[in-house]
């Protein structure tokens, strides 16, 4: 007997709305947080947050870490973490400099940077998967190792990239092709869409959720958990190298300390966006919005009139608060 | 000519380091047969199952499917050969949606390698209503498994096994955590498996449940086959007595 057919539309409508809310609770939550924070900024510092200049500034600087936050979201959903991406940014640029200085070929140098990032990411993956060291500890170690390596290889010196400015690749990466929107924003959008498709529309993505949720079950059902992890770590490495290239191009200089200070912002963006620190849960939209909230906070702290000293304190607070909030929310939903 | 078994293990042993979990086990599963597997914790039931599903590789011995020897059996290979397992409810991914769990590890994709999400959701709806008797309004493919009851979870695990047209269905402690009514449903489901011309291995602690559904009962004890009984030739009381003897002496 199917009594459902006789029910008035309003009841099925309400049922569907409830289902929709339930299925998308995390994403709706982050959208709400985004709007509330934004409103708060506008009220606190209207002259800053009602002008278009600040938004161009966000679109200019947020992509550097948001691009890394995308694959990092995958890693955290899979129950892993990568703390070494800041050092991978620097190592990618070391490879860039080593190729660019003798050849003068920007494109080739970028390929070298991305390849280096991918290989380092893969090494992280091999340490975690092959030796079985928890990724938190493994990448804490590789973070220092690669930072040290980048300093040793270039003897701690930076490199000027002003000569590269003339190249088309340079313009394509950090110039302005459409209106006054910085091109790195388009790259971020492209990578966000790519990562979304990977996570939501491929078997790899399905397996990322599964191994983060219940690895034993995933293995029993024939999921190759190790290969999935390797791909994710490699992807974080590639994205970190790209983030490093973009950030260095933006300042026309490679600083050997490149990537330091990105850790808190990037992790903050992922966790604020609703990705569960326990794995199995997380969205790309959440990380995307989380990145811009984190990016706006830095500007807002100054615009509201606090000193820059507050930035780290507030980032740290947001990180802990968002992890706690989402954990509580998650427990509620699942009960 | 020898009778062709759907599945046969010959002299299978499995060691985990020093620990010998299975010792020279011979096990047969006929066409259209339900075999009950009994044994205490640590008797080797799970290890035996995991060898059949390709999760563990035997340390020695041979595995035959339909009379043909299969070497290096992996989980995907076992699935190709028609082995489906209904694990205890813990084998579901709790934080994921119903449809993702149904297609866990075997997601449908189009020729570009992209998931056919809508089709999987539709199929989930169909399977849950047709096979499990849910009303369509009660099924939400987007619902998370964590919100399901124990019986519903078991239902999901069963539907998952059914959908993929298994030849050999393994039920690992399927009645655990089920209500009486849900258990009855499950017993009926196992009988349906046989009716449909398929084979099943039914593992349970509950001797009564096993006796009620199995054609043949294999008792494992400390990694060895300690007894084998045809259900029709033995009463439940006799089976119980033998089980007690096996537990005490390792034989009956």
Query: Range with the lowest mean pLDDT among A148-152, A221-225, B108-112, B162-166?
Result: B162-166
Please give the span between the terminal C-alpha atoms of chain A, in angstroms, as a whole number: 30
- pLDDT above 80: residue A321: yes
Token pair recorded at residue A332: 């509620």
Strands of B7-16's sheet in order across: B19-29, B7-16, B60-65, B68-69
CA A196 to CA A38: how far, in whole Å?
A: 24
Return the percentage of chain A with pLDDT > 70, whole number.
96
The residue ranges of every structural domain in chain A are: 28-42+53-334
- pLDDT above 80: residue A206: yes
Token pair recorded at residue A94: 């070391």
Token pair recorded at residue B133: 């008797």
Q: Is B115 helix (H, G, I), strand (E, B) or coil?
A: strand
B contact test, residue of A220, A231, A276, A330 with most B CBs within 10 A: A220
Q: Is B113 helix (H, G, I), strand (E, B) or coil?
A: coil
Q: What is the dihedral of CA B76, B80, B82, B86, to 10 degrees?
A: 20
A218/B92 CB distance under 8 A: no
Backbone angles phi, psi at B25, to 5 degrees: -85, 130
Q: What is the CA radius of gyration of chain B?
A: 19
Provide the pLDDT for residue A20.
79
Name the pLDDT band for B251 (thresholds 50, 70, 90).
Answer: confident
Provide the pLDDT for residue A6.
45
Provide the pLDDT for residue A8.
54
A3/B117 CB distance under 8 A: no
Ranges of H-type helices in chain A: 9-23, 25-44, 46-49, 52-77, 85-103, 106-126, 135-153, 168-174, 183-201, 203-213, 215-220, 225-251, 262-272, 284-304, 310-334
Provide the pLDDT for residue A5.
45
A209/B136 CB distance under 8 A: no
A203/B107 CB distance under 8 A: yes
Provide the pLDDT for residue A333.
62
Chain B residue set in contact with A, beta carbons under 8 Å: 53-55, 74-76, 79, 85, 87, 90-97, 100, 103-107, 109, 113-115, 117, 135-137, 140, 142-144, 146-147
* DSSP code for B11: E
- pLDDT above 50: residue B231: yes
* DSSP code for A129: I
B113/A202 CB distance under 8 A: yes
* DSSP code for B133: -
H/E run at residue B218: strand B216-221
Which residue of chain A has the CA closest to B149?
A335
For the segment B232-242, the average pLDDT, to the nearest whole number, is 89
Provide the pLDDT for residue A326.
77
Nearest to A334 among B103, B140, B146 (CB): B146
pLDDT in tens, B77-88: 998 899 988 886
Q: Is A250 helix (H, G, I), strand (E, B) or coil?
A: helix
- pLDDT above 60: residue A1: no
Name the pLDDT band for B1 (thresholds 50, 70, 90).
Answer: very low
Please tell me the total number of residues recorded for chain B in this structure: 252
- Rounded to the nearest angstrom, the minimum Cα separation between B252 and chain A is 34
User: What are the chain A neighbours of B92 within 8 Å (beta carbons)?
Assistant: 214, 217
Provide the pLDDT for residue A3.
41
Provide the pLDDT for residue A145.
97
B107/A206 CB distance under 8 A: yes
- Tell me if the domain spanning A28-42+53-334 has CATH number 3.10.450: no
Average pLDDT, chain A: 90
pLDDT in tens, B114-165: 999 999 999 998 888 877 666 666 778 988 888 887 778 877 887 887 777 7
């Amino acid at each position: 007997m199917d009594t459902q057919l006789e029910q008035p539309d309003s009841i099925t409508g309400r049922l569907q709305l409830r289902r929709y809310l339930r299925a998308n609770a995390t994403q709706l939550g982050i959208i709400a947080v985004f709007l509330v924070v934004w409103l708060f900024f506008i009220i606190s510092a209207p002259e800053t947050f009602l002008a278009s200049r600040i938004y161009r500034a966000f679109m200019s600087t947020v992509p550097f870490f948001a691009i890394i936050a995308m694959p990092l979201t995958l890693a955290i959903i899979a129950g892993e973490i990568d703390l070494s991406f800041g050092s991978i940014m620097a190592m990618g640029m070391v490879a860039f400099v080593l190729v660019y200085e003798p050849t003068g070929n920007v494109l080739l140098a970028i390929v070298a940077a991305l390849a280096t990032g991918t290989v380092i990411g893969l090494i992280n993956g091999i340490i975690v998967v092959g030796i079985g060291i928890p990724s938190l500890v493994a990448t804490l170690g590789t973070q220092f190792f690669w930072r040290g390596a980048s300093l040793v290889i270039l003897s701690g010196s930076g490199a000027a990239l002003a000569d590269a400015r003339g190249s088309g690749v340079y313009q394509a990466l950090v110039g302005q092709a459409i209106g006054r929107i910085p091109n790195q924003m388009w790259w971020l959008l492209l990578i966000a869409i790519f990562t979304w498709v990977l996570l939501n529309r491929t078997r790899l993505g399905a397996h990322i959720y599964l191994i983060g949720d219940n690895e034993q079950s995933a293995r029993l059902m024939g999921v190759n958990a190790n290969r999935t992890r390797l791909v994710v770590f490699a992807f974080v490495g590639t994205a970190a190298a790209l983030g490093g290239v973009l950030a260095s191009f933006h300042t026309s200089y490679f600083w050997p300390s490149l990537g330091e200070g990105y850790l808190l912002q990037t992790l903050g963006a992922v966790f604020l966006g609703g990705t569960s620190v326990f794995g199995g849960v997380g969205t790309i939209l959440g990380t995307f919005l989380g990145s811009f909230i984190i990016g706006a906070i830095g500007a807002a702290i100054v615009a509201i009139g606090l000193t820059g000293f507050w930035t780290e304190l507030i980032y740290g607070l947001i990180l802990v608060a968002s992890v706690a909030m989402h954990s509580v929310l998650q427990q509620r939903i699942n009960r | 000519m020898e009778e062709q078994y759907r599945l046969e293990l010959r002299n299978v042993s499995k060691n985990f380091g020093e620990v010998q979990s299975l010792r020279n086990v011979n096990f047969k599963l006929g066409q259209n047969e339900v075999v009950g597997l009994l044994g205490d914790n640590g008797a080797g039931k799970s290890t035996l199952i995991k060898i059949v599903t390709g999760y563990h590789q035997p340390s020695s011995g041979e595995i035959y499917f339909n009379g043909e020897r299969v070497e290096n059996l992996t989980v995907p290979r076992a699935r190709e050969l028609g082995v489906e397992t209904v694990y205890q409810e813990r084998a579901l991914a709790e934080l994921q949606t119903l449809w993702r769990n149904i297609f866990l590890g075997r997601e449908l994709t189009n020729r570009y390698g992209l998931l056919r999400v809508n089709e999987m959701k539709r199929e989930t709806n169909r399977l849950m209503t047709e096979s499990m008797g849910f009303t369509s309004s009660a099924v939400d493919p987007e619902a998370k498994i964590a919100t399901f009851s124990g019986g519903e979870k078991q239902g999901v695990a069963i539907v998952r096994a059914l959908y993929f047209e298994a030849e050999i269905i393994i039920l690992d402690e399927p009645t655990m955590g089920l209500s009486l009514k849900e258990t009855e449903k499950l017993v009926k489901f196992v009988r349906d498996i046989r009716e449909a011309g398929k084979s099943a291995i039914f593992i349970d602690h509950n001797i009564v449940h096993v006796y009620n559904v199995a054609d043949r009962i294999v008792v494992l004890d400390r990694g060895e086959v300690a007894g084998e009984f045809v259900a029709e030739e033995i009463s439940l009381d006799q089976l119980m007595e033998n089980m007690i003897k096996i537990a005490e002496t390792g034989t009956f």
